[in-house]
Amino acid sequence: MSASASYRSRRVPPMTPAAALRDTAGIAKRYLLRTIRMPAEASVLVIQPALILLLFRYVLGGAIKVPGGSYADFLVPAVFIEAMLLSGMSTSIGLALDLKTGIIDRFRSLPMARSAVLAGRTLSDLVRSVFALALMIVLGVAVGFRFHCTPAAAFAAMALVIAFGYAFSWVYATIGLLTKDPEVAQGVAVLPVFILMFISSAIVPVATMPGWLQPVARNQPFSVTVNAVRALLEGGPVYHWLWQSIAWSAGLLLIFFLVAVHLYRTITS
């Protein structure tokens, strides 16, 4: 070994995609084990969208008039998406908790992929949200919702819901990394859950809102996704909403992936 003051050149090979995937899978497994072992938290994620479904179907729905079709068929696709938003909140809370307990410091000091903690977290979120979605389908059918479409269209609609949920879990990851505290994270993460659902075509038709609010309510991601899902399930012009929903999900995913990974690299807990 030379006695010069210059430092050694790189010994460790750069991160390969296969290694990054293994890291991600390991982290995802950790979060899923946590979910299984803390069933109270997981059940809250199912109970909340179920409550919203029942409240709007049986308490408020009677007063809401929708053009054509039943209110159950109008409401249930929105509850699918709301279930994604509610289930994704746990990403904000979980990451903030990991920052607070110092476990993110441990991960950041390990030779693992810089994206793996966030990707593993959001993937475990995806598994939970698919589970929540399945339960919402069962519950939806129980309160009068029906699929009036081909299996392929139903499948595409559910894929759209899941894609929106997954993209949005990167928004939640960003919230968790910015707030760094589980309670603050919960307080912030609940905002999109309400704002996006209520200022949208999810619960009531946009045409009933004040004119200045309508462009926002009509074009935000929750609305375009719920419109696309309804069009796929009920018939009607699909492509206009479909491409907007895909564009929103892809855009949210890309931007918040970059923001969250940057925050993770530089974060100080």
Buried (b) or exposed (e) across 213-224, using 16+ Cβ within 10 A?
eeeebbebbbbb
The answer to the question of residue 101 lying near other proteins (CB under 8 A) is yes
> What is the phi-psi region of residue 236: left when phi exceeds 0, alpha when psi lies from -120 to 50, beta otherwise?
left
Q: Are 268 and 177 in contact (CB under 8 A)?
A: no
The answer to the question of residue 102 lying near other proteins (CB under 8 A) is yes
Tell me the two tokens of residue 60: 């408020």
Question: At residue 115, what are phi and psi to the nearest 5 degrees?
Answer: -95, -5
The count of residues interacting with other proteins (CB under 8 A) is 33
The answer to the question of residue 11 lying near other proteins (CB under 8 A) is yes
Which contiguous run of DSSP H or E holds residue 247? helix 239-266
Reduced DSSP (H G I as helix, E B as strand, rest coil) percent helix, strand, coil of the chain, to 5: 75, 0, 25
Q: Which of 14, 17, 39, 237 binds other proteins (CB under 8 A)?
A: 14
CB of 4 to other proteins, least distance (A): 10
Q: Which is nearer to other proteins, 106 or 148 (CB)?
A: 106
Place of tokens 């796929």: 232
Q: Are 90 and 246 in contact (CB under 8 A)?
A: no
Q: Which is nearer to other proteins, 7 or 212 (CB)?
A: 7
Q: Which of 46, 81, 112, 177 binds other proteins (CB under 8 A)?
A: 112
Q: Which is nearer to other proteins, 110 or 254 (CB)?
A: 110
Through-space distance between the first and last CA atoms of the chain, rounded to whole angstroms: 38
Binding mask 18-57 for other proteins (x = CB under 8 A): -x--xx--x--xx--xx--xx-------------------
Q: Which is nearer to other proteins, 26 or 235 (CB)?
A: 26
Give the footprint of other proteins on this chain (CB under 8 A): 1, 3, 7-8, 10-12, 14-15, 19, 22-23, 26, 29-30, 33-34, 37-38, 101-103, 105-112, 116, 266, 268
